[in-house]
Structure formats: C-alpha cells, structure tokens
Amino acid sequence: MSPTSQPHRPATTYTLAGRTVNRMGYGAMQLAGPGVFGPPKDRAAALAVLRAAVASGVNHIDTSDFYGPHITNQLIREALHPYPDDLVIVTKVGARRGEDASWLPALEPEAIRQAVHDNLRNLGVEVLDVVNLRLMGDIHAPTEGSIEREVTALAELQRQGLVRHIGLSNVTSAQVAQARKIAPIVCVQNQYNLVQRGDDALVDELAEQGIAFVPFFPLGGFTPIQSAGLSKVAAGIGATAMQVALAWLLHRAPNVLLIPGTSSVGHLRENLKAGEIVLTDAVLAELDAIGGAMRGHAVA
C-alpha cells in the first residue's frame, strides 16, 4: 500500500473534564424554535432526538440556557434526567436574549453568576460539568481584549462548588493563555471547519496542552459548506458531503470534539456515521486543497 493511499483511523474518544467522551457529540442549539428562540415546533421530536443521541453512544452534549432562552436545557432535563453517569453536559454563559430574539452580551460578573444559577435550575443539577465563557465579539472571529474579570467570576463559582470545569468560546490564543493563569481550562469552542481555518495554530497548540477543541459551525453555520469537489470526494467514498466535512475534522487533530446539531433523528444518525469514516492521505490532501480553493473564492 503506497503512502498516498494509507488510511488514517482517528481515535474515537478523548478526555474532556477528566472523563473519556466519544468524539462525536451533540449540539442542542437547533432544538429551540426558529432563530434559536422559543419552543420547538415538535416537542416530542426534540425529546426523541436527545434520547436517540444518548442511546447511540453520545456522552457529550453542548447546550446553553440562552438557547430559547431556557428551552434546550429544559428539554434536556425532561428527556434525560436523571443523567447517565458518563454524560458530560457542557453549557455556556456570556449572552442573553432580547424580547426580539436578539443576542446581547451578558458578561458582567453578576450576569455570569445569574446564568450559572439559571443553568443549574433548568438542567436540574447541583453542579455544572463544564461552563464555557462565551465572548460575543464578532460571530465569525474572536476579538482581542482582557477576559480576566469574566474568568475570575467563573473561577469563583468553581470555588463555590457550582462549576466543575471551565471552558472558553470565541477566544484568541492570548485569551486562552490569560485564562489559564486564573483557572484550568478544559476546552475551547471556536468557529472552525474545512473552509474556515483561522484557528489552525490554536488547534495544534491546544492539542499539545491536552485541551479539547470543539468547533462550532463545523459545517459552515449560516453558509453551509458547498463544493462540487467536496461532493465528488464524498460520492467516491460512499458518504455525504457533510459527513466527509465532519470526518475531516476528526482526522484534523486528536483533541477535536464534534457537536453537530439537528432536530431530526434521521439526520442525527447520519451525522454520527461520520465517526466511522476512514480517510486516506490522498483524500485528506484533496480535501485540504478543496478547502483552500473555497477559502480563496470566499476572499475573492
């Protein structure tokens, strides 16, 4: 077998918050109504997706009390409480919702404390597994600036026993370094995918430090990844383009954990199959080239 056809089978698990989790997780954002606001159109279907995820081996769920607001956490509690012993629920604070469904920053220490208590109540737990501090900034890229006050507020809640572990979202490498001087950081959640690769260096830096990297918008978010080249690669290995885009992320680095979201059990199962895809050196090189071309087109 030539080096170009050598398959790479990525690890299926990684350590998050001191526990072993399957790298294919689930993001609960799409369980709320349109615009991540209000209740789902079909509550029973939303509950069924959560139960199907856990039954399929998912033991890492990403959520937030500002999804809905409150809706996704209440659905998670209804569907899964009492929670399986191996389930890690990661929530986030740092934003609130306006009555018009707008996304507003909520990074004052008192707002962070209130958000932690809201998450505790709606998830029905006495301590939160992991809380990500979500900086608002630009939705597509973090902005520099001190986060000492905000991380210190979360660290105080950790000392009080309300938060086990702290993570960060939408942050720069410098902000990660600043936060780690205040408290241990177990995960970073930034936008990253085959096309949007501004965090290449950060992914590798965190891998060396044993910190999980959790891409949000792994499939492009509001502008889903679409490419004839990507579709051709996918057809060649008997998968969908989105499955290949997810598989590429799993091959990218061992610390990458995926949380694709969906409100459909069928789509959930399709996403989870990405964890079974094995890509060769040749396919990985082709995907890197496709991603580079798509980035160049976006810039042009």
Q: Return the structure tokens found at 172.
A: 């720069």
Q: Which residue has the tokens 């989105």?
A: 242
Q: What is the rounded CA–CA span in Å between residue 46 and residue 18?
A: 29
* 67 has catalytic annotation: yes
- The residue from 14, 26, 67, 192 that is catalytic is 67
Beta 279-280 vs 19-22: how paired, if at all?
Answer: unpaired
Contact 167, 187 (CB under 8 A): yes
Q: What is the rounded CA–CA span in Å between residue 103 and residue 96?
A: 6
Cβ of 31: how many Cβ atoms within 10 Å? 29
Amino acid sitting at position 132: N
Tell me the C-alpha to C-alpha distance, in Å, between residue 153 and each of 110, 247, 256, 270, 290: 8, 36, 27, 39, 43
Known catalytic residues are 67
